Amino acid sequence: MTTDTTHKAAGTELAENHAETHGMSNAGYIRIAAILAAITALEVSTVYIDFGPFFLPALLIMMAVKFIMVVSYFMHLKFDNKIFSFMFYAGLILAVGVYAAFLATFKFFIQ
Amino acid sequence: MTDAAVHGHESSTGISNIKLGMWTFLGSECLLFGGLISTYMLYRGRVTGGPRPAQIFDIPFTSVSSFVLLMSSLTMVLAVSAAHKSEDKKTNLWLTVTALLGATFVGGQVYEFTAFYNEGLGFSTSLFGSSFYTLTGFHGVHVTVGIIMLMALVGIFKRSEVPGKKAEVVEMIGLYWHFVDIVWIIIFTLVYLIPV
């Protein structure tokens, strides 16, 4: 009985530590999802509304914001150990660099 | 408290090895999808025969698919949250809902591919067709693998045969699932919304 109570207390402590580590409540996740849905709606609106010269930059910025929000909050990278961020962003930055150079050799950016 | 300690096991680095391995894997996946996306960007205008992108893309349909996948990320994070609180029933429920939303997305992709094929865009019709089917097909396979992992996890949970900490296993599959979502965020903008 005492051991059982100790285990339950340890479990509660572990869960609390997790909440502290991850720093988000379910309501927070729903708010993030609502923002992501709103940005997606705004992205789709660019197909039907003329944004002029802001079309491409606006789309790319919205894409980047959605990407960062999912990685930071849903994947908990913002609240986790920095080495996880390093492992992921190292791969991402390497990919962007390598493929930007690859596309540049085919004169993709000056078409 | 260190990360590994929070997850209930120790490692020489003080952080979870399984989590570090997953993040390294996801970093390497960036290179895989980076190659596929770059190839598509290079070839999307190369249409010698068959329909052009603007002639076949159904933006309202793909927007709904994107929304479904985005919401599956919410249900996945709710499953992870429930797992950390040791709420097994809620964890199973959210994992099942995530798998169903993922299946809806894949069903939409199968419908889209069939519609494109019927409109004359085969895999070898043009460079656009080849690069489009390869990119979106690879993504679809990733989503399908994610659905299989989610359903397997639900089945394993019901038998209570989860190796290691339950919450960490759910979190790892959650990371994979969110990665599939962020890849689609990029594909949706670059492939569907930016005209050739």
Write the secondary structure of B113-150 as one string of H (helix), E (strand) and C (coil). Answer: HHHHHHCCCCCCCCHHHHHHHHHHHHHHHHHHHHHHHH
Domain residue limits at A65 = 2-80
Considering CB atoms only, which of B24, B42, B84 is closest to A106?
Answer: B42
**One domain for residues A18 and A71:** yes
**One domain for residues A37 and A62:** yes
For residue B189, give every residue at least 6 positions away whose Cβ sits within 8 Å of its Cβ, in sequence order, or none. A43, A59, A60, A62, A63
Give me the half-sphere count of Cα atoms (radius 13 Å) on the Cβ side of residue B50.
21
Q: What is the mean pLDDT of chain B?
A: 91
Say yes or no for a CB contact (<8 Å) between B20 and A80. Answer: no
pLDDT at B8 over 60: no
Please give the tally of structural domains in chain A: 2
The C-alpha atoms of residue A99 and residue B148 are separated, in whole angstroms, by: 31
**One domain for residues A8 and A54:** yes
Q: What is the mean pLDDT of residues B64-79?
A: 96
pLDDT at A79 over 50: yes
For residue B79, give every residue at least 6 positions away whose Cβ sits within 8 Å of its Cβ, in sequence order, or none. B90, B91, B94, B95, B98, B170, B174
Model confidence band, residue B14 (pLDDT cutoffs 50, 70, 90):
confident
**Quick one: tokens of B48?**
């010698």
Rounded percentage of chain A residues whose pLDDT exceeds 90: 68
Q: What is the mean pLDDT of residues B170-188?
A: 96
State the complex-level ipTM.
0.89
**One domain for residues A56 and A6:** yes
**One domain for residues A23 and A68:** yes
**Higher per-residue pLDDT: A18 or B68:** B68
* B contacts of A95 (beta carbons < 8 Å): 30-31, 33-35
pLDDT of residue A14: 45
**One domain for residues A89 and A69:** no
**Quick one: tokens of A53?**
């010269």
Comparing CA positions, the residue from B175, B145, B169, B143 lying closest to residue B157 is: B169
Q: How far is the first Cα of chain A from the last one, in angstroms, to the nearest whole number? A: 74
* B contacts of A106 (beta carbons < 8 Å): 42
- Using CA coordinates, name the residue in chain B closest to A79: B3
Q: What is the mean pLDDT of residues B80-102?
A: 93
Tens digits of residue pLDDT in B108-158: 999 999 999 999 999 999 999 999 999 999 999 999 999 999 999 999 888
Comparing CA positions, the residue from B67, B170, B172, B178 lying closest to residue A73 is: B178
* B contacts of A70 (beta carbons < 8 Å): 73, 178, 181-182, 185
Say yes or no for a CB contact (<8 Å) between B35 and A18. Answer: no
Model confidence band, residue B49 (pLDDT cutoffs 50, 70, 90):
confident
Tens digits of residue pLDDT in A26-55: 999 999 999 999 999 999 999 999 988 999
Q: What is the mean pLDDT of chain A?
A: 83
Q: How far is the first Cα of chain B from the last one, in angstroms, to the nearest whole number? A: 51
* B contacts of A40 (beta carbons < 8 Å): 63, 66-67, 70
**One domain for residues A73 and A97:** no
Say yes or no for a CB contact (<8 Å) between A103 and B41. Answer: yes
Rounded percentage of chain A residues whose pLDDT exceeds 70: 78
pLDDT at A11 over 50: no
Domains of chain B (ranges; CATH) run 3-193 (1.20.120.80)
pLDDT of residue B12: 76
DSSP state of A53: G
Say yes or no for a CB contact (<8 Å) between A40 and B70. Answer: yes
CB B38 within 8 A of CB A102: yes
The predicted model scores a pTM of 0.88
pLDDT of residue B9: 55
- Using CA coordinates, name the residue in chain B closest to A93: B30
**One domain for residues A75 and A87:** no
**One domain for residues A71 and A97:** no
* Secondary structure (DSSP) of B27-91: HHHHHHHHHHHHHHHHHTT--SSS--HHHH--HHHHHHHHHHHHHHHHHHHHHHHHHHTT-HHHH
**One domain for residues A72 and A99:** no
* Chosen from B3, B25, B46, B70 to mutate, greatest number of chain A CBs within 10 A: B70
